[in-house]
Structure 1
């Protein structure tokens, strides 16, 4: 742990000073786990218990790579999907308006579809069943392919597309295509369905505005909650152990425990920058490093890729060295007004990058006797 000692101390001090309620931190290189530490309690309330390696966190938008993007990439590798496939192929020529007929899978994965960043579906439609017709009717904010606008709406539609292609719900698809193959035994949607022990060992987020009760094992994202907890943009819960397995697969360019999860060609193209010159660097579902303001900062290798989520978690990887980091947070507990994670995350990646450099230095020469 020595090269990453400063990184560990940063997270430990941040939690102990109560700037963040809890954290689960993993750092490694390839298959080697260098750091696996937990800090704080599941809640600031008296009911909170110490966080463990198997404590569940709401992964928020990290769900986009844990579930939706991975399923899409697997379908591409299986010849079920193609990046050039457009909405009419799956939702019907007559159902898709003219302004959306040329939105492709590529546009949805790279956030260049033209969809707005956010629409409160729970205020616009009475039931989840109307999601697809409503999203197909929403005016686009720009022509497909001309701008990057990070859009949960595009990923909600992508999730519905995957369901329509397969005839299975997204939670089942994620289990079959991602979590089971990768041995992520405690990752999934609707964690409380798996047993009562999950609720006791789950990090709290905010209070449900409708009931006033703490959200524990219920997705924090309002649209995902409206969609019964299973959505293309959010809804997955995971823990440190499982998230580390996912990070190791990413660091292995699609290989985990000597087994190929994604073909190397599919994986490597997915982490290329497909939006040069636009507002953000985006891969196929992946957020890419880029500049001082990105979640990994300016000093982490700028070839890095991964994703972060609104509730605080993130997974980020340097494909060159195999360096990876997993940081699970419930920074929205007790309130989303806490934005300390943004600064802490960038500093963490700086310290990790420095630790990697120190780890790579040759040993000091022996003094002559």
Structure 2
């Protein structure tokens, strides 16, 4: 039944606005196609698709069954809820030192500080770990990656700052595998995807969703973007380890053709066989709608305890940075200059103080605003055929245009 508040919106106008902005992104060459879902209250989602899954002659039109590499949305669609489920079952505490579960982390520099890093720090990106490293040039496999992260000096102090870190979510994935004694992809399927009916969501979709492979949207043509990023990063360093890695980068077997069906992220692909806590997941718009019921459902059965859910979605870093972090999620910004706030928040300028969301490098995003009872999910492949840097501006404008049409309910 439609509520009075839902009846005040012109959903046809909202649908036209979504379509118009997707079409603008296609005309501007930001992505070849995309799909957007907007849910307001109890009303069925507005779903709008435009464009194609690639720029090639044989490309398919984007539709509700198109499968996207959702990149860092993996952090909040897999790793975060599995940590919360482990907390509910008493397998983990958010205050657990990471070394309790991964003692290998102490075998390197800053051991004393690393002993103070908790799961809470990893979830809020306040551990002090670096943001990114091209570890795939040095090794592969979980044991090798854990050793490489242990050998890394911290870029900050535990709890002292926000550094958005892929490394931290790799460690969370390793922790989950330890405490459940199960591979992360199997764990996610058993505890999340199957119970939620997310039948089109998986790591390694060419294996797990093989019959649906033609529905996968294309990613970058080769690994040029991350190759150049690795070379730039290593060229700025003078230590012998980095110089050796720079030599390996010159002869590394970078992917050359269009990436489609294997994860775009190089650490996930080359280093961790497609399965990681920070990236690797593929999904569809409908499955992500199902997933967001974890965060929006008000009646039983609830996968996550409501108290823990509310705690996870609120701001936890107000003293650290104008770019706010919840547990896993990005939170609505507070403090800082207007320039810092606007530049830092992927949700745009109009989200309420209670809103939370996340983005993926490949051109994906989820934002939920509880005061509007609205969830906006957007999937694009802005990395095809090459990476477009204009997605950041497009995304904020997209969120502004849509959220401006939805009135808060209180």
Question: Given the two structures, how large is their TM-score scaled by the length of structure 2?
Answer: 0.82
Separation in structure 2 between the aligned mates of residue 304 and residue 160 of structure 1, nearest angstrom: 29
1:166 to 2:211 alignment: no
Q: Is the contact between residue 348 and residue 400 of structure 2 (CA under 8 Å) also seen in structure 1?
A: yes
Aligned partner (choices 263, 266, 277) of residue 319 of structure 2? 277
Separation in structure 1 between the aligned mates of residue 392 and residue 105 of structure 2, nearest angstrom: 44
1:299 to 2:299 alignment: no
Q: Is the contact between residue 69 and residue 284 of structure 1 (CA under 8 Å) also seen in structure 2?
A: yes
Separation in structure 1 between the aligned mates of residue 48 and residue 17 of structure 2, nearest angstrom: 13
Q: CA RMSD in A?
A: 2.0
Q: Is the contact between residue 207 and residue 215 of structure 1 (CA under 8 Å) also seen in structure 2?
A: yes
SS of 2:211 mapped into structure 1: helix
Q: Which has the higher helix share?
A: 2
- Rate the CA distance shift 1:94–1:120 in 2: closer, same or farther, 3 A: closer
Look up the match of 1:99. 113
Look up the match of 1:330. 381
Look up the match of 1:147. 161
Look up the match of 2:61. 50
- Rate the CA distance shift 1:196–1:94 in 2: closer, same or farther, 3 A: closer
Separation in structure 2 between the aligned mates of residue 24 and residue 37 of structure 1, nearest angstrom: 6
Give runs of ≥4 in structure 1 deviating > 4 Å: 93-96
Q: Is the contact between residue 202 and residue 209 of structure 2 (CA under 8 Å) also seen in structure 1?
A: no
1:218 to 2:262 alignment: yes
Aligned partner (choices 245, 249, 260) of residue 294 of structure 2? 249
Separation in structure 2 between the aligned mates of residue 323 and residue 40 of structure 1, nearest angstrom: 25
Separation in structure 2 between the aligned mates of residue 47 and residue 33 of structure 1, nearest angstrom: 32
- The aligned runs of 1:168-207 (5 Å cut-off) are 168-207=182-221
Count of residue correspondences: 356
Q: Is the contact between residue 29 and residue 321 of structure 1 (CA under 8 Å) also seen in structure 2?
A: yes
- Rate the CA distance shift 1:129–1:93 in 2: closer, same or farther, 3 A: closer
1:36 to 2:47 alignment: yes
Look up the match of 1:268. 310
> What runs of 5+ residues in structure 1 fail to find an aligned partner?
361-369
1:308 Cα deviation after fit? 0.3
SS of 1:25 mapped into structure 2: strand
- Rate the CA distance shift 1:249–1:195 in 2: closer, same or farther, 3 A: closer
Q: Is the contact between residue 116 and residue 158 of structure 2 (CA under 8 Å) also seen in structure 1?
A: yes
Q: Is the contact between residue 301 and residue 353 of structure 1 (CA under 8 Å) also seen in structure 2?
A: no
Question: Given the two structures, how large is their TM-score scaled by the length of structure 1?
Answer: 0.91
SS of 1:259 mapped into structure 2: coil
Q: Is the contact between residue 289 and residue 297 of structure 1 (CA under 8 Å) also seen in structure 2?
A: no
> What runs of 5+ residues in structure 2 fail to find an aligned partner?
1-10, 224-253, 334-340
Q: Is the contact between residue 67 and residue 217 of structure 2 (CA under 8 Å) also seen in structure 1?
A: yes
